[in-house]
Every structure is written in C-alpha cells, then in structure tokens.
Chain A
C-alpha cells in the first residue's frame, strides 16, 4: 500500500487535522491519491538499498528539469513489484532484483528495462575486528549472516561461496558452517552486524559505504554484481522517461559511484 500521497503542500497545510486524517485513511483505503498537481509528478518505487543514493541523484534531476516533481518511495523489490502488479500507480520502478522487474515486463505492465547501476557483494566486518580475509573468518569463532536464497543478496552469496570453494574448499565449508541466519532482506542481514549479533555479513559494497565502522572483505571477482533494473510502468508520466535517461547520465553515475555502486554500461537493455 502506498504511503505517499500527492496532496499539494499548500492544501495539506490548510486542511484541518481531522479532515486530513480522514483523507489519509481514505487515500490508504483506495490505494490512490487525490487530484494530481498541474506540474507533472514522477513517482519512483525503488529498492530499499537505493535509499541513500537516489535522493542525491533526483535532486540533480529536479535542478535540470525544474517543472518536474519527483517523489520517492522505498521498499523491498518484491513488495514494490507486487504492489505495482496490484495497481499501485508508480511511474518508474527500480528493482534490486532483475526477476521482479522481469515479472512486470512479462505481465505487460512495464517497458524499457534498463540496467542503471550494479552492486558488488562483499563480506562486511566490523572495522575493529582483527579479521582481514575470508581465511581469517573461516578460522575464527564467528557467526555469519547471509540473505535467504530467495533474495538476490542471498543467491549471490551462494554463488560467491561456490567460487570461494573452487579456490579454498576448506574455507568455503567453514564459512558455510558459520552461517547463523538466512535473512529475507539485505537490510536485516546488515542489522545483524549493527546489533552485534553476527560478526560478518554478506552484503553489498554500497551498504558498507554508507555504514560507519564497517570494512569490506572482497569476494572472488567472478561473483557477478547485482544489477539494478529500472522499468517504466505502463501509463507513466512522460517525464519518467527523462528521469530514466537521467539515471544513466554521467552526473547520476558519478553519484552512484560515490555511494559504492558500480557504473552501469550505459543504455544496456536488461534482457
């Protein structure tokens, strides 16, 4: 269900509180919003992992296209895809899981799949911990958090471990034995480190980039990056197309890089 609502700010201020509450409830119940504004508003439904980087990129877009207003909402890719499939009227969907984008494409609900960036899997450990390599981890008494195989981060973690196994079979086996939890989202995997319940977590480089006190241990380079696929949702505002193009601009790609993401190979179709 959508949390954001396109009531204009001025209206929101004038509306008395009870009326607002009623409107809010109605908006939630109907899953839609009130009247649109004159100027186009583009809503992006984006994977949670883009929470930090996307506002910066969108700010640049809004400066370049002063007439367009952009609203962002974040959730797990699966949740967002399901909501869009159920009729949420977003304009652009950026999925951390290509499969979820593919679902919408298959259903004819979206178009123009574009890889906008990618994320590299790493093993995050606390900076203070004396562990610098996968071998160190394998030899220590540690607990490791990974994603569930049903989410990209978990799938990639398995692939990565398979590559580790090619080179150091004992290390891979030891690491597998130390897996304490297979979490349903990368955010929860990361929280294991933040809460001190795990000593290492298979997460993305971008997660480490925005977290204090974490260090990344690299995984075998053969491990594929996780690609972020953007799709235009059926019936999107024309400005959404501009925004999609903007994501591939040098400006946007530089910001992705600052936040630990990999640059995209511009304009590549996801499939």
Chain B
C-alpha cells in the first residue's frame, strides 16, 4: 500500500471516528460545564429510570436471544424461498421510525388494535404497562439480534453440522458444542447491538407504553421529560451522561467477554 493511500485511509477513518465521538464528548463537556451530573446521580428518580431501563432492556435481550436464536438458525438452515423472504421481512422494523413502530404496536396490541381487543376480552391490557416497554424495545431491537445471528448461522458451514451428526452427536449437542461456538461472535455482537438499541429506545416506548415514573418511564423518556422541564438542556444532558456512562461500562464489559470468547478465530 502506498503512503498516500495509507494517509487517505487514516484520514477517512479518523473523520468518521471523530464524527461519532465528538458529539458524545460534547455532551460530557456540556454536562461538566453547566449540567449537574452529581445531583442527577443523587436523585432517586434518576435511579428509578435507570433501573427500569436496564431491567427492561435486559429482559428484552433475554427474550430476543431465547426466541431469536432458534429463529435465526431455522431461517439460515432452511432452503425454502419463503425463509429467505421472511429473513428480509424481519428487518422491516429497523426501517420504521420509532414513533411509527409505536403506532404499529398499538395497532396490534393496543386497546383498539386487532389483537388488543381479544386480549382485552380476557382482561389483558398491554399498553401503559412495563410489559409494553419490553414489547416496544423487543420490537425495535430484536431485529438487530436476529439479523446478526442469521448472518452468523448463514456464514457457518452447514457441513460442520453434517459431520457432527455422522460423528454421533445429537442435534442439540451439535448445536451446543459445534454451531454455537462457531457463531458465538455474531451472537454476542448482535446481543450487544440489541441491548444497546433497547436501552436507547424512546419513540415506540413513549407511544405504546406511555411515560409514568417507576413504571414505564425509562431513561430516554426521563431525559425527554427533563428536556421539557425547567432544568431544560442541562438536566437532560446530565441524565444523558449518566445513561451514557452506564452504557459505556456495560458495553466495555461485554466487549471483553466477546473478545476472549472469539479468540480462536
């Protein structure tokens, strides 16, 4: 590679890295200069929102992994054209603006939604509940996991599985001991994306789950509320930095886990 190309690549890489990091740095700088992060950290409301966010995002992730892994595997291993079609359709929630995702959820599970009426008939109402928060997060974030897992399973040579079967390994044992370790980096990467997306979910949650402190007001909703309040930007920024710091800690931890697990590659 010529020196010129190397420099151009470095510049391009640096540009994007800066574009991604500078706004975050700006947020932190702003919080330090006129926000009061310490005060927000001391406030019970902040912890309530943070706890709710982390709990719901984690539940969403667990559901996405438990249901999304078999789905991704089946889609990746199926030769049917319908499976490939389904795999593409599963990306659709990614396209929707979150607010529209919220309306979509309401149209299905809302009180006057086509499933909501049936649910209401058995005394079940989802909207404005913590379950709705999880459902909203799941709707927008699960595709990230399924997408990544699907890519992983598609990339894993199915002949490994075939060989494992002939070696006498059961389907489950093959999945556990052969397929899963092979696609683990994709799954972990997808899980991180999924969790991060769930943690940052705002629009769909607001519409589908509402915003009640302690019950449905997640961190992003609390930030939105703070933005409208007297403390305005300063309050919103302080809360955002709390969320950011917390997410950074967890993402770094996850990164360590996935980095060690993917070492054989």
Contact = CB atoms under 8 A, between A and B. Distances in A.
Interface of A: 76, 78, 81-82, 99, 103, 143, 145, 148-151, 179-185, 188, 191-192, 195-197
B110 A145 contact: no
Contact of B111 (A148, A150, A179, A197): A197
Given A148-B211, A148-B228, A181-B216, A197 B127 contact: yes
Contacts of A188: 206-207
Interface string B219-249: 0010011111110110000000000000000
A181 B230 contact: no
Contacts of B212: 179-182
A196 B212 CA distance: 18
Given A184-B206, A184-B225, A196-B111, A78 B232 contact: yes
B230 A150 contact: yes
B228 A151 contact: yes
Interface string B161-174: 00000000000000
B210 interface: yes
Contacts of B103: 195
B232 A197 contact: no
Nearest to B227: A78
Interface residues of B, number: 26
A90 to B, nearest CB: 18
Determine the main DSSP class of A at the interface with B: mixed
Contacts of A149: 229
A84 B230 CA distance: 16
B168 to A, nearest CB: 55
Contacts of A145: 210
Given A195-B110, A197-B106, A197-B128, A185 B228 contact: yes
A179 B213 CA distance: 11
Contacts of A151: 228-229
Contact of A184 (B106, B213, B221): B221
B260 to A, nearest CB: 42
A213 B210 CA distance: 23
The 8 closest A-B pairs by CB, nearest first: A181-B210, A150-B229, A180-B128, A196-B112, A148-B225, A150-B228, A151-B228, A78-B228
28 contacts: A78-B228, A78-B232, A82-B233, A143-B128, A148-B211, A148-B228, A149-B229, A150-B226, A150-B228, A150-B229, A151-B228, A151-B229, A179-B212, A180-B127, A180-B212, A181-B209, A182-B211, A184-B206, A184-B224, A184-B227, A188-B206, A191-B207, A195-B103, A195-B106, A195-B110, A195-B112, A197-B110, A197-B128
A82 B233 CA distance: 8
Contacts of B226: 150
Given A148-B211, A150-B229, A191-B207, 6 more contacts: A143-B128, A150-B226, A184-B206, A195-B110, A196-B112, A197-B106
A114 B257 CA distance: 59
Nearest to B210: A181
Given A148-B211, A183-B211, A82 B110 contact: no
Contacts of A81: 232
B128 A181 contact: yes
Contacts of B211: 148, 181-184
Given A195-B110, A195-B112, A197-B106, A184 B127 contact: no
Contact of A150 (B128, B209, B225): B225
Nearest to A148: B225
Contacts of B210: 145, 180-183, 192, 197
A189 to B, nearest CB: 10
Contacts of B111: 196-197
Residue of A78, A99, A181 most packed against chain B (CB within 10 A):
A181
Contacts of B225: 148, 150, 182, 184
A213 B128 CA distance: 23
Contacts of A183: 206, 210-211
Contacts of B106: 195, 197
A82 B232 CA distance: 8
A181 B127 CA distance: 10
B133 to A, nearest CB: 12
B228 A99 contact: no
A103 B228 CA distance: 13
